[in-house]
Amino acid sequence: MTEKKILNAHGIRKTYRSGQDTLLILDDVSLTLYPGDFVSLMGASGSGKSTFLNILGTMDAPDSGHVFIHGTDTVNLKESELADFRRNHIGFVFQFHYLLPEFSICENVAMPLMIAGESRTRALKSALELMDYLGIAERRNHFPAEISGGEKQRAAICRALIAQPDIILADEPTGNLDRETGNHVLNLFQKINRDLKQCFFLVTHDESIGAIASRQYLLKDANLIEKKGEAVS
Ligand SMILES: Nc1ncnc2c1ncn2[C@@H]1O[C@H](COP(=O)(O)OP(=O)(O)OP(=O)(O)O)[C@@H](O)[C@H]1O
């Protein structure tokens, strides 16, 4: 039996113009993600990690190639269809939390559901359940400026999870945190992956962070190379 694919990126090529030059960032790169996968992508600064994540997340378009998510070829979607598609299928966690300062933590977490048309009461209830699961429920009525960096990142993770996305794309999610707080966030990723079978794609320049993934890749010279080695739990 073939396992269901969550994401299938195929033959991705991406170049950027730099003056007269053409920079080749991704050269015929392919990747498949399955339910419950925990995949990391490492590579030197400027190797194209964020570019690849943004293409997988439909935030950027490849020059050629296809990104199928849940069977839909996202490269063919119109700009007007992409926002809904992302909201339904992809959760993002970035180095900076991007919480909205004028809303409470609970409202921030509930926001994707409210935007999708869920009632405020039900959205806030779901948000609170998730915040309880990730240990920040007691911060529900605080505003982003009133909580710590680690709590903000946990709130951002709740917001990424709330619509039950097929995949969470995380770009240097601990880059702005001290080592201990960062480890706590990574432990939460592992817990969510284990408990909920949530698929993660994690970009990091830090090999010790990338090593927690069950499948590890390196982006080098525009190619994706699978690293063989045991995941660190
Ligand atoms: N919009 C753009 N226009 C031109 N060049 C770009 C653009 N975006 C990225 N680049 C270049 O493409 C290369 C890959 O960038 P990218 O941000 O994907 O690398 P990265 O591996 O994520 O780097 P870092 O670890 O430093 O964040 C870099 O050389 C960068 O300067």
Return the exposure string of 201-233: e unless at least 16 CB atoms fall within 10 Å of the residue's CB, then b.
Answer: bbbbeeeebbbbbebbbbbeebebeeeeeeeee
Give residue 25's pLDDT band: very low, low, confident or very high (50, 70, 90). Answer: very high
Q: Which pLDDT score is estimated for 22?
A: 94
Residue spans per domain, the chain: 37-63+78-227
- Give tens-digit pLDDT for 97-143: 899 999 999 999 999 999 989 999 999 999 999 999 989 999 999 99
Locate the ligand 1 atom nearest the alpha carbon of residue 48 and give its number. 18
- Give tens-digit pLDDT for 34-73: 999 999 999 999 999 999 999 999 999 999 999 999 889 9
Enter the CATH code of domain 37-63+78-227: 3.40.50.300
Q: Which pLDDT score is estimated for 1?
A: 43
Residue 51 Cα to ligand 1 midpoint, Å, equals 6
3-state secondary structure of 107: helix
Q: Which pLDDT score is estimated for 230?
A: 60
> Does residue 165 carry a pLDDT above 80?
yes
Alpha carbons 162 and 154: distance in angstroms, whole number: 12
Contact 192, 185 (CB under 8 A): no
Alpha carbons 198 and 219: distance in angstroms, whole number: 23
> Does residue 171 carry a pLDDT above 90?
yes
Name the token pair of 217. 């890749």
Residue 182 Cα to ligand 1 midpoint, Å, equals 24
Q: What is the mean pLDDT of the chain?
A: 93
Give the Å distances, CA to CA, from 39 to 79, 135, 162: 27, 25, 21
Mean pLDDT of 212-220: 96
Residue 197 Cα to ligand 1 midpoint, Å, equals 31
Alpha carbons 223 and 28: distance in angstroms, whole number: 8
Residue 44 Cα to ligand 1 midpoint, Å, equals 11
Cβ–ligand 1 distance for 229 under 6 Å, the answer: no
Cβ–ligand 1 distance for 57 under 6 Å, the answer: no
Pocket test residue of 18, 23, 221 for ligand 1, highest count of atoms within 8 A of CB? 23
Residue 17 Cα to ligand 1 midpoint, Å, equals 11
> Does residue 232 carry a pLDDT above 90?
no
Residue 48 Cα to ligand 1 midpoint, Å, equals 5
Cβ–ligand 1 distance for 216 under 6 Å, the answer: no
Helix axis angle, 149-161 to 105-115, nearest 10°: 20
Contact 105, 140 (CB under 8 A): yes
